[in-house]
């Protein structure tokens, strides 16, 4: 399906009665790229989980195109176009690479596996290996590939580079950038590697204590190291 506009209006959500994100609003145009930055523990992961309908909703709206999915279950959101790659990767460790991928096919035929094998040659080489036999980078590739088989129009990525070697980070960012450049996916990226996140996206939103405290074009933040340090507590080169 083609890339879709994502619009979030005043979203508040958390776990049970506890609010983790509060009154967050943003919009990503079809085919757009948004990086979400912030210190650890400020609610970035909860934001993505809330977009997928995996948290307790306390207020606000989530639109995918013109469709209001605020009250929809996670399964419905996935059917309507959301794809989510969680920080925990969540592969089936007792299944082979290919069996994991088949689980992501939805209503597509097995021939669709060739798409991700071209995109991720390493997975093609390891297709008979079990999840327990994969490196962290291979597990991340598998989690991403399985989600892509569902052909999402909005892709949510939660720290896909965490704990990976720089060469693997390069490979994954190259794939994500190619997907974004195709115009076929709207992408929201949560990432701690600030420089990579700012190079990837068009726009950036900084989250602090569950609230969006700054948003704008990546270039503005990239060109202002003092603001980066004030907002995120780190420098950027």
What digits encode the pLDDT tens for the residues 106-115? 888 999 999 9
Q: Does residue 198 form part of some domain? A: yes
- Tell me the residue range of the domain where 122 lies: 6-232
Strand 186-190 and strand 33-37: pairing? parallel
Q: Does residue 189 form part of some domain? A: yes
What digits encode the pLDDT tens for the residues 57-89? 999 999 999 999 999 999 999 999 999 999 888
Q: Does residue 109 form part of some domain? A: yes
Number of domains in the chain: 1
Q: Does residue 38 form part of some domain? A: yes
Q: Does residue 237 form part of some domain? A: no
Q: In the chain, at which residue ranges do the beta strands (DSSP E only) sit?
A: 6-15, 18-28, 33-37, 56-64, 67-68, 82-85, 154-158, 186-190, 203-208, 211-217
pLDDT at position 185 over 70: yes
Q: Does residue 1 form part of some domain? A: no
- Return mean pLDDT, the chain: 93
Q: Does residue 37 form part of some domain? A: yes
CATH no. for residue 80? Answer: 3.40.50.300
* pLDDT class of 225 with cuts at 50, 70, 90: confident
* pLDDT class of 172 with cuts at 50, 70, 90: very high
Q: Does residue 227 form part of some domain? A: yes
* pLDDT class of 38 with cuts at 50, 70, 90: very high
């Amino acid at each position: 399906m083609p890339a879709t506009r994502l619009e979030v209006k005043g979203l508040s959500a958390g776990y049970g009665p506890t609010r983790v994100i509060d009154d967050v609003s943003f919009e990503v145009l079809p085919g757009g790229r948004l990086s979400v930055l912030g210190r650890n523990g400020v609610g970035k992961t909860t934001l993505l989980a809330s977009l997928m309908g995996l948290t307790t909703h306390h207020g606000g709206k989530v639109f995918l195109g013109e469709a209001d999915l605020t009250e929809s279950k996670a399964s419905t959101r996935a059917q309507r176009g959301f794809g989510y790659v969680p920080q925990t990767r969540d592969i089936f460790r007792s299944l082979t690479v290919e069996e994991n991928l088949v689980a992501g096919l939805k209503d597509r035929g097995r021939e669709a596996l060739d798409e991700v094998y071209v995109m991720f040659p390493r997975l093609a080489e390891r297709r008979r290996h079990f999840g327990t036999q994969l490196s962290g980078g291979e597990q991340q590739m598998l989690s991403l590939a399985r989600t892509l088989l569902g052909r999402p129009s909005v892709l949510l990525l939660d720290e896909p580079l965490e704990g990976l070697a720089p060469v693997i980070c390069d490979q994954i960012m190259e794939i994500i950038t190619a997907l974004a450049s195709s115009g076929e996916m709207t992408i929201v990226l949560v990432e701690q590697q600030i420089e990579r996140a700012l190079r990837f996206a068009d726009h950036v939103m900084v989250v602090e204590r569950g609230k969006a405290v700054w948003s704008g074009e990546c270039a503005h933040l990239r060109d202002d190291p003092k603001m980066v340090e004030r907002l995120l507590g780190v420098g950027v080169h």
